[in-house]
Amino acid sequence: MKPGPEAALFAQHNARLRPPLTVREIPEARGSAAEVRRREGAALLDALPAGALAVALDLGGHAPDSEGLAELLGRWEASGKALAFIIGGAEGLDPAVQARADQRLSLGPMTWPHFLVRGLLAEQLYRAQAIRTGHPYHRAWRP
Ligand SMILES: C[S@@+](CC[C@H](N)C(=O)[O-])C[C@H]1O[C@@H](n2cnc3c(N)ncnc32)[C@H](O)[C@@H]1O
């Protein structure tokens, strides 16, 4: 990711995560949309640590609220597996990646650019961490 506001958003929240996320970027593929998805999908699957609990960021996935994500994270961590979040490129995720994913997580029905999704995810993971530790970063106001 080039330096800029999206990189800063991710860095700011990732620095607060315990442990912080390690990012692996896949080079952008060329070709038709389907070819791009297939090539990037193969590279994403290659990059996935063996036995990881894979969470695909997907508009059509489960869309928990922040407390729900905090609870899910607790369950995922209890599995003892390494957690891997997968974000697609401009053409989205290949069906092979969707099929490999153990979970599909949505950040809502709107489509976000993948560079922004990285920062949004890091913020929500930090918020989930704050919820689980009782840190005042998350100020739940709804009764
Ligand atoms: C620009 S989007 C790809 C758009 C593509 N046309 C599609 O429908 O997936 C890039 C990636 O960001 C992630 N993404 C974008 N918006 C999202 C959302 N609301 N919830 C979860 N992931 C999202 C997905 O991983 C997606 O593959």
CA 47 to centroid of chain Cα atoms: 15
Domain 5-133, CATH class in plain words: alpha beta
pTM of the model: 0.94
**Which residue among 103, 111, 114, 121 is best mutated to probe the pocket of ligand 1, counting the most ligand atoms within 8 A of its Cβ?**
111
| pLDDT reading at 128 higher than 80 | yes
The minimum-distance atom of ligand 1 relative to the CA of 113 is: 1
What is the C-alpha to C-alpha distance for residues 57 and 43, in angstroms, rounded to an integer?
16
CA 31 to centroid of chain Cα atoms: 25
Closest CA to 10 of 19, 24, 27, 23: 23
Residue partners of 30: CB distance under 8 A and separation at least 6: 36, 39
Instruction: Point out the least confidently predicted range of 2-6, 40-44, 69-73.
Output: 2-6
Closest CA to 57 of 69, 75, 67, 74: 69
> Tens digit of pLDDT for each residue in 34-57?
999 999 999 999 999 999 999 999
Half-sphere exposure at residue 111, Cβ-oriented, CA atoms within 13 angstroms: 6
The minimum-distance atom of ligand 1 relative to the CA of 110 is: 19
